[in-house]
């Protein structure tokens, strides 16, 4: 299948000295769920921010379809950032209206259904919500878009195991078959069963890019166990 | 509830075993329509492409038939079902023997322990 995103020789240096991301080549094909895995500070979020257009590469090229990251590509990429998109003083409903105004591919029906499934009241004020509920609402906003690519930066970090299961199911239920999901996490054992591919990032470089089944077959261990060996401290 | 998987083997081969067990145990009846790949992937909390691969394997074996109008159905061939059932049973027995030998039991000791357990079950 055609690639949704292509990175060629992408480097990002924040202070002109060390490279946070170092000459990365990366293809994201359609129809895959891909885990971006690496220790803290390995460059995961920097890669994500360059694909979403929040950071500009120091060198190299990023192509999304035939475009460089910018307003046009933001219309096709649904991005769950590590920061909340919610205004604490407004109601959840206001965030839904905001997303509806901003994104032509936002489905209000989907968002309301997901909120209802989780018994979250759309009229609740954001600041009254628990940390876990806020995370769920942020994910619902992102997964309510009909996008080509969903980029989820640490989607399950702050929620309990039952909510994690629901979030993973939400991801599986709502993504389109031809679209792809790129998700970064350090909670590998929780997500590895839903992944097609994994990308291991170490010190700004891609160490491995392979399938989950390939790791299990060739190493006789889970991705989580393999990760612990590769990144042993 | 998500399904459970061993860490040391590919997920798709474990999905094949779980689905085979559901079929030979009658949870999915002969001739019955199976849920879609996507539905089952969500139930099991696994990747849809992995579930698709498991279904392809079941189709290749002939345990599952694909029909353009009615979707995927379980085979109605009793020989096929018996064959897969005994294959699964043999796998469990082999595993049991392997584990018992790791504990240092001889074939004879294993058989007598198995007999003992069977008569206990009968009396319950």
The residues near B90 (Cβ < 8 Å, ≥ 6 apart) are none
User: How confident is the prediction for chain A on average, in pLDDT?
Assistant: 91
A147 confidence band (pLDDT: 50, 70, 90): very high
B123 confidence band (pLDDT: 50, 70, 90): confident
The pLDDT of residue A82: 85
Please check whether residue B48 is in contact with residue B86, taking contact to mean a CB–CB distance below 8 angstroms. Answer: no
The pLDDT of residue A156: 82
Contacts of B48 in chain A (CB under 8 A): 172, 177
Q: How far is B52 from chain A (nearest CA, A)?
A: 12
Domains held by chain A: number: 1
Please check whether residue B63 is in contact with residue B21, taking contact to mean a CB–CB distance below 8 angstroms. Answer: no
Q: What percent of chain A has pLDDT over 70?
A: 100
Least confident among A48-57, A82-91, A162-171, B103-112: A162-171
How far is the CA of A209 from the CAs of A215, A217, A223, B59, in angstroms? 10, 15, 12, 30
Kindly report the number of other CB atoms within 10 A of residue B107's CB atom. Answer: 10
Same domain, B94 and B70: no
The residues near B54 (Cβ < 8 Å, ≥ 6 apart) are B12, B13, B15, B16, B19
| Residue among B2, B9, B10 minimizing CB distance to A165 | B2
Domain limits for position B48: 11-76
Same domain, B39 and B25: yes
Interchain proximity A213–B41, CB inside 8 Å: no
Interchain proximity B9–A169, CB inside 8 Å: no
Interchain proximity A225–B2, CB inside 8 Å: no
Same domain, B84 and B69: no
Q: Which of A128, A52, A44, A54 minimizes the C-alpha distance to A86?
A: A128
In a domain, B2, yes or no: no
The pLDDT of residue B68: 77
Q: What CATH number does residue B20 fall under? A: 1.10.10.10
Interchain proximity A172–B41, CB inside 8 Å: yes
Model confidence at B121: pLDDT above 90: no
Distance CA A92, CA B46 (A): 30
| Tens of pLDDT, residues B23-82 | 999 999 999 999 999 999 999 999 999 999 999 999 999 999 988 777 899 999 999 999
Domains held by chain B: number: 2
The pLDDT of residue A46: 94
Same domain, B90 and B44: no
| Tens of pLDDT, residues A156-211 | 887 788 888 888 888 898 877 789 999 998 889 889 999 999 999 999 999 999 99
Same domain, B63 and B111: no
Interchain proximity A193–B46, CB inside 8 Å: yes
Same domain, B51 and B31: yes
| Residue among A33, A217, A221 minimizing CB distance to B47 | A33
Domain limits for position A202: 3-230
Report residue A37: phi and psi, to 5°. -120, 140
A1 confidence band (pLDDT: 50, 70, 90): low
| Tens of pLDDT, residues A94-140 | 999 999 999 999 999 999 999 998 899 999 999 999 988 898 999 99
In a domain, B114, yes or no: yes
In a domain, B4, yes or no: no
A78 confidence band (pLDDT: 50, 70, 90): very high
| Residue among B10, B42, B45 minimizing CB distance to A213 | B10
Same domain, B20 and B72: yes
């Amino acid at each position: 299948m055609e690639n949704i995103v292509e990175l060629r020789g992408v480097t990002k240096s924040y202070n002109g000295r060390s490279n946070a991301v170092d000459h990365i080549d990366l293809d994201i094909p359609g129809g895959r769920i891909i885990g971006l895995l690496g220790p803290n500070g390995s460059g995961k979020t920097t890669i994500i921010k360059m694909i979403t257009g929040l950071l500009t590469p120091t060198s190299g090229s990023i192509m999304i379809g035939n475009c460089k990251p910018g307003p046009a590509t933001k219309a096709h990429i649904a991005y769950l950032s590590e920061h909340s998109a919610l205004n604490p003083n407004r109601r959840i409903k206001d965030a839904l209206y905001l997303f509806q105004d901003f994104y032509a591919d936002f489905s209000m029906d989907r968002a309301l259904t997901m909120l209802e499934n989780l018994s979250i009241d759309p009229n609740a004020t954001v600041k009254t919500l628990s940390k876990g509920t806020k995370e769920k609402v942020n994910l619902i906003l992102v997964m309510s878009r009909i996008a080509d690519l969903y980029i989820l930066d640490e989607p399950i970090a702050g929620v309990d195991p039952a909510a994690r299961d629901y979030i993973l199911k939400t991801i599986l239920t709502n993504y389109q078959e031809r679209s792809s999901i790129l998700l970064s996490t350090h909670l590998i054992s929780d997500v590895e069963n839903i992944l097609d591919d994994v990308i291991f990032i170490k010190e700004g470089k891609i160490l491995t890019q392979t399938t989950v089944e390939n790791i299990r077959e060739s190493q006789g261990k889970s991705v989580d166990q393999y990760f612990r060996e590769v990144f042993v401290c | 509830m998500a399904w459970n998987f061993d860490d040391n083997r590919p997920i798709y081969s474990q999905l094949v075993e779980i689905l085979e067990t559901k079929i030979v145990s009658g949870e999915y009846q002969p001739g019955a329509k199976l849920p879609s790949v996507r539905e089952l992937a969500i139930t099991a909390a696994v990747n849809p492409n992995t579930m698709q691969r498991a279904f392809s394997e079941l189709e290749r074996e002939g345990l599952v038939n694909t029909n353009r109008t009615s979707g995927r159905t379980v085979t109605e061939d009793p020989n096929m079902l018996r064959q897969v059932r005994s294959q699964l049973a043999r796998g469990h027995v082999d595993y049991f023997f392997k584990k018992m030998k790791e504990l240092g039991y001889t074939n004879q000791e294993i058989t007598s322990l198995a007999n003992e357990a069977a008569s206990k079950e009968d009396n319950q």
